Amino acid sequence: MNKYSSVAKLYGYFLMAVLAICLVFAGSAPAMAEPVPLSVYGRLPGFERAAISPSGDHVAILGTLDGERQVLVLDAAGKLVSKVPVGPVKVRSVDWAGDSAVLIYFSKTTALSVDFTADRAELFSTIVMPMDGSNLWMVFAGERAITGGVQGFYGLVQRDGRWFGYFSAITMDRTVLVNEYRFASGNPDLYEVDLASHKVRLVARRPDGEDLNRRWLLDETGAIAATLDYNRKSGGWRIYVRGGKELASGTNLDGQIGLVGFTPDGSSLIYTVRDAKAQHDDWFTVPLAGGERQPYLTDVAFQSSLMDAGHHMIGYVNDLAEGKAHLFNPRHQRTYAAIQKAFPGERVTLADFNQAFSRLIVTTEGSGDPIGWWQVDIPTGDAKPLGRSYVVPSEEVAPFQMVSYKAADGLAMEGVLTLPPGRPAKNLPAIMLPHGGPSSHDSPGFDWIAQAFASRGYAVFQPNFRGSDGYGADFELAGHGEWGRKMQSDISDGLGELVRQGVVDPKRVCIVGASYGGYAALAGVTLQQGIYRCAVAVAGISDLGRMVNGDITESGDDPLIVRVLHDEVGRGRDLNAVSPLRFVDRVSVPVMLIHGKDDTVVKFAQSSTMVTALGKAGKQVEFVTLPGEDHWLSSSDTRQKMLESAVGFVAKNNPP
């Protein structure tokens, strides 16, 4: 009996699943094959994420193997060395502490006591998976004085052969009664956690006063190299080093100030500040020893920075929807460019890399590729397939492309067009699928919702309307105060371009969206009329005034939250004028609302109230409740229920 490596087994699992689907199709009528089941798109990806250890000798994979969702650890030869089932745990990321342990970050929707302004919150925790075979354990477990799980992660450091993790957490104050604690502040302290002994050591205290936020930047030894204090009330901020020596200071009312890391040589600090008036992000360096700040990479638009384990910036991802990496080290950049050439016509994303940048994990998306995961070994030139995210046969992967267009006021923008496989791009029924955020963006790639609708014969367009990120601060800030106005017409302007090109039949279009996209879906059939045949809003916002007031109340009237909400949604505006709830009488098409009961971002009442109003107005409305689901559709069962409900509703009211 041959023994296959775990990599081959994992990849084989996906190949066999694809083969099984193809075999089912083989028994169908020859004229029209059955589409891929919606469950294939709806359930969590079979391959969700991967991380490579600093040495490059181990890879941790979160995926489904033999029908069970688990974290698998493979060695350099692809041999399975460890695994742990995770089931329905909402894993948010996976990281390595050397080659000695895997850190699994996850969140859980948790009910809060009456002492809090919110009734529930999404709390984050960290599971440590040791590679020596010892039991899994949770950071801060058993620490009675620490509550609320992990508030922030500040890196990993190896010292004297041991690994330490740095996490922030809320500390309760001990009362005069023995072993009794009370909640004192929502600001976290910084702790060092010994990942071998589990011992916890306080590193830095939270600031005095609830109006102050504090963040830290640690060096390679775990020492605090710089501290950022931000006053949420006044907007004042200052960056200082040990001993209190100030490096930089200023005022930013929107809280758009952040510590990025160190320059490649480690001599200077990098920080970023958003200039809302000039509508751009400014990046600066300032020597850790003190001195004048200097502009940094002034001609570059950033989407994100690439950092090594010591918090040195080694490159960046450009601030465009294409998201290409740019490495400062010429050898690393040549390596990345060579990998891109090795996958012609594919969108290549750098998912992770080892410390030497000799072994990398990349993902590929393109024609016939339902997100492939690869381990690239630079010295040997090998690219080993790790797996695929979705078990969709290559010929059933819907092609996608970027489409450029202009809004009514001339602002240039673009969106992702996904087309039904095997059909000419002419006079198609369509789905407008605006993203959430709204400060987010859609990139050309395998989107599970877009692919599902395309598999049923629809063209799907995901417009990056003003207010989207990924195109610079000016484009993002152009959306402030434009909810229900230009942000909304940007979506229908994108539809107009597709109609002009002859791709879409204007009489057969529905609008579907989640979160802000759900708001846009509802606005598309209330604030706008005569464009869409139906609308599906997933966790959508129907009442902007209620959303703003609720967020402010839950924040404890936080002045920063007040300013940000007023700037983004609109200051001095009548929010009723752009709230779909106030215009249910204008609805003339069927509407479906879908909402998770455990949503802590957009309250469930935003949908239930809209459903009641539509019903009282005699409108066609359907309501799908997702028990136990959060805002991000983190569960396979409820994701599938959402997708099957939405696709079924659209197919009934806008047949493909």
In this predicted model, what pLDDT tens digit does every residue of 485-522 receive, in sequence order? 999 999 999 999 999 999 999 999 999 999 999 999 99
Closest to 127 (Cα-Cα) out of 167, 179, 171: 167
Q: Convert the pLDDT of each residue in 406-439 to its tens digit.
A: 999 999 999 999 999 999 999 999 999 999 999 9
d(CA 515, CA 90): 19
Closest CA to 200 of 249, 239, 155, 164: 164
User: How far, rounded to the nearest angstrom, does the alpha carbon of residue 113 sit from its chain's CA centroid?
Assistant: 28
> What pLDDT score was predicted for residue 144?
86
Residue type at position 526? T
Q: In the chain, what is the straight-line distance between the N-terminal and C-terminal CA atoms, in Å?
A: 49
Q: Does 13 have pLDDT greater than 50?
A: no
Which pLDDT score, from 0 to 100, does residue 178 have?
A: 62
With vertex at residue 229, the alpha carbon angle to CA 120 and CA 286, rounded to the nearest 5 degrees, is 135
Whether the predicted pLDDT of 27 surpasses 70: no
Residue 116: which pLDDT band, with cuts at 50, 70 and 90? low
CA angle (339, 317, 299) in 5-degree steps:
120
Q: How confident is the model at residue 271 (pLDDT cuts 50, 70, 90)?
A: very high
**Is the pLDDT confidence value at 327 over 90?**
yes
pLDDT at residue 29, rounded to an integer: 29
Residues 326-350: what's their mean pLDDT? 91
Which residues partner with 228 through β-bridges?
215, 239
More confident call, 7 vs 139: 139
* C-beta atoms surrounding 230 within 10 Å: 21
| Residue 31 pLDDT greater than 50, yes or no | no
- For the CA atoms of 408, 519, 418, 507, what is the dihedral angle to 10 degrees? -70
pLDDT of residue 176: 60
User: In the predicted model, is pLDDT for residue 118 greater than 90?
Assistant: no
Instruction: Give the long-range contacts of residues 607-610, CB within 8 A, separation 24 or more.
Output: 607/537, 607/539, 607/540, 607/542, 609/542, 609/543, 609/546, 609/581, 610/522, 610/537, 610/540, 610/542, 610/543, 610/580, 610/581, 610/584
Q: Hey, where are the domains in the chain?
A: 401-543+579-653
The confidence score (pLDDT) of residue 177 equals: 62
Please write the tens of the pLDDT for every residue from 147-157.
889 999 999 99
The residue with tokens 């001993």 is: 243
User: What six digits make up the tokens of 292?
Assistant: 């004048």
Spatial CA neighbour of 15 closest among 382, 393, 436, 395: 393
Return all residues near 383 (Cβ < 8 A) that are at least 6 apart.
339, 342, 374, 375, 376, 377
Q: What pLDDT score was predicted for residue 552?
A: 84
Give the 3-state DSSP-derived string for 473-495, with helices as H, strands as E and coil as C.
HHHHHCCCCCCCCHHHHHHHHHH
Please give the torsion angle defined by the CA atoms of residues 437, 477, 417 and 518, in that order, rounded to the nearest 10 degrees: 30
Mean pLDDT, residues 578-584 taken together: 96
Residue 493 to residue 477: CA distance in whole angstroms = 19
What would the mean pLDDT of 151-170 be, rounded to a whole number?
95
Any idea which architecture 401-543+579-653 has in CATH?
Answer: 3-Layer(aba) Sandwich (3.40)
pLDDT value for 14: 34
Confidence band (pLDDT; 50, 70, 90) for 113?
Answer: low
Q: Which residues of 282-318 are buried (b: 16+ CB within 10 A; e: fewer)?
A: bbbbbebeeeebeebeeeebbbebbbbebbbbbbbbb
What is the predicted pLDDT for the residue at 560? 84
Mean pLDDT for 306-334 is: 88
Work out the percent of the chain whose per-residue pLDDT is above 70.
Answer: 92
Helix (H) or strand (E) holding 402: strand 400-406
Rounded to whole angstroms, the Cα distance separating 494 from 431 reads 12
pLDDT of residue 230 exceeding 60: yes
Question: Model-level pTM greater than 0.85?
Answer: yes
Please calculate the CA angle 255-259-262 and round it to the nearest 5 degrees: 165
Q: What is the residue type of 90?
A: K
- Average pLDDT value over all residues in the chain: 89
pLDDT of 9 > 50? The answer is no
CB environment 442-480: b (16+ within 10 A), e (fewer): bbbbbbbbbbbbbbbbbbbbbbbbbbbbbbbbebbbbbb
Distance (Å, rounded) from C-alpha 508 to C-alpha 512?
A: 13
Tens digits of per-residue pLDDT, 522-545? 999 999 999 999 999 999 999 999
- Collapsing DSSP states into helix, strand and coil, what is residue 246? strand
In the chain, the amino acid numbered 402 is: M
Upper half-sphere CA count for residue 584 (Cβ side, 13 Å) = 19
How far apart CA 258 and CA 254 sit, in angstroms, is: 12
Name the least confident of 227-241, 317-331, 527-541, 579-593. 317-331
Q: What is the percent of the chain where pLDDT is above 90?
A: 72
* Torsion on CA atoms 262, 268, 270, 273, rounded to nearest 10: 160
| Beta carbons of 322 and 365 less than 8 angstroms apart | no
Structure confidence at residue 487 (pLDDT): 97
